[in-house]
Chain A
Amino acid sequence: MGMTMAEKIIAAAAGVESCKAGDIETVTLDRLMSNDGTTHLTIDMYNNLKNPRIADVSKLVWIIDHNIPSDSPKTAASHKKMRDFAREHGITFYEGEGVCHQVMMENHVRPGELIFGADSHTCAYGALGAFGTGVGCTDYLYAMVTGTSWLLVPETIKINLHGKLRDGVYARDLILTIIGQISANGANYKAMEFVGDGMASLSMADRIAICNLCVEAGAKTALMEVDDVALDYLKEHGREPKAIFKSDEDAVFSQVIDIDLAEIEPIVAKPHFVDSVVPVSECEGTKIDEAFLGSCNNGRIEDLRVGAAIIKGKHVADKVRFLVVPASRAVYKQALKEGLLDIFMEAGAMVMNPNCSVCWGACQGVIGEGETLISTGTRNFKGRAGHKDSFVYLASAATVTASAVRGYIVSAEKL
């Protein structure tokens, strides 16, 4: 019987010929990413181990991106603990360089790798044909100490993409539509694999946005075949694949979903669930207090170009804050070079340093009681962006920017 891409990556990492959904395999990890959301706790647990050691320090990547720059003495203490530990043990360490997943895509992820990240959006790495999955700090610590972990081999949902997205419709509209269709636990424990002729028209930025959000349907990982688009990206960033896998013709999928990309519409995900997806028109006119363009989902140069083209020569609406947060230093510098940051600044936006920003709701841009945010972030859970009684709508860079200009939710084509 044939194997899926997920099964092949796990089999390779487990050193076995084959495996199938439902098996439990002991795997050797290729890379272990951790950020400031939990690493201080991992370090405390490490220091309390009977015999603390690191299996292979070259596989560890630690990134401070959630609360950077630090917002309080408590955060500063947790950051210091992480920074000092990384230095002492020679761990690859980034601080202020960007959102962890963007930093990983730019600098580390290789096709065929099996990667644990102490962050749920680690599934983004599937855009380069790597099996990335989110874990908690205890799983992370176990893998850091032993170099291994155990994995339940997931079933795979195959998503066939056909055709092309229409102008003004983005990868983010697509993945949110899929999540709305299959629901917040529609892919729980499963891998989501994207294939089909529609892949050819999707850029790496699109692909990362799609894979990154699959955890919002509960997915364990997301995967895409490695094609020329992926290989060009790798080459541009000076890396080679570890291995290139693709699902066999006779692989078994738990579900197959066909999507005609031309039918996807601009959408928003309403508070407080990522799967509460409706056409933008249904929320048109909803007053906003803040707009956010950024995050590991939608803070890449392509997204900033979309926003800048919309807001050029216009101005952010009265009483609205518009936060523009490039996903990494590389994205920031490119946006600077292209004059995009000038456009945003002249339009009255606030351009922030690369970080998770209000997407994670604990550092900058936090919203107050009763306020509404429209965001290109990853989640719209109750209180996600600040006060427990506030509201977050998720939308594409185009819809977010158009709404920032108008002061209420509106699609870019109506601007």
Chain B
Amino acid sequence: MKQLVEKHPLAIRWFHWVNFPVLSLMIWSGLWIYWANDVYRLGWGNTTLLKFFPQSFYEAFNIPFQLAKGMSWHFVLMWVFFLNGLLYVLYTLFSGEWRYLLPTRHSFKEAIQVVLHDLGMSKKPLPVRKFNGAQQIAYTSVILMGVGSVLSGLAIYKPVQFAWLTQLLGGYEFARIIHFALTIGYVLFFVVHIAQVVRAGWNNFRAMVAGFEIVEVDPTTHEIKSGPTSGPAADASLSSTK
């Protein structure tokens, strides 16, 4: 019997959907800035596996010669990115949502199982929970990355006023590398995230917009037989049975 289960609180949906365009614009304006000194690459010695970034990439995304514009956007949107992230963290702390998001000592083992399952190398059913171990690790890591972006950003934005921070992050040039690497991290996160959202299907995606999932509940025991992607919701109203 199909029932509605609340999944994502309204506040978290807002934080999520505000962050998406803001982080995208932060990355775009960041590329405008990075272009002016595009020295990073993957490789060793004279061997370059991947240059950040090839000219064709710059041209495709209209990157060259926009340093001033990039900095102005970056230093305006940084406030939105920071405040939205801060409010999200405070919300998860005070609402108790952090309990679903923070990894536990079982998360790492579970994350390996999830990865094996998603790669088709394991047939064991995944844990039915709001966020499985892999998700807990991913969603907590990405918040720590956000903290890292804010701190490394501050370290290269005001390297004298926050000289202690810049030193702590390995100096001005290394802080810039950290700032850049974290950005690449977001892009990789985004790729995996989108792939997982597509895999998980409509019910799961709709929950990030409308807040609820539809689950199949046993009419006699009220047990959730198939949460399409995840089980017990935040309010646990339908899942109190043992």
A and B held together in a complex: no
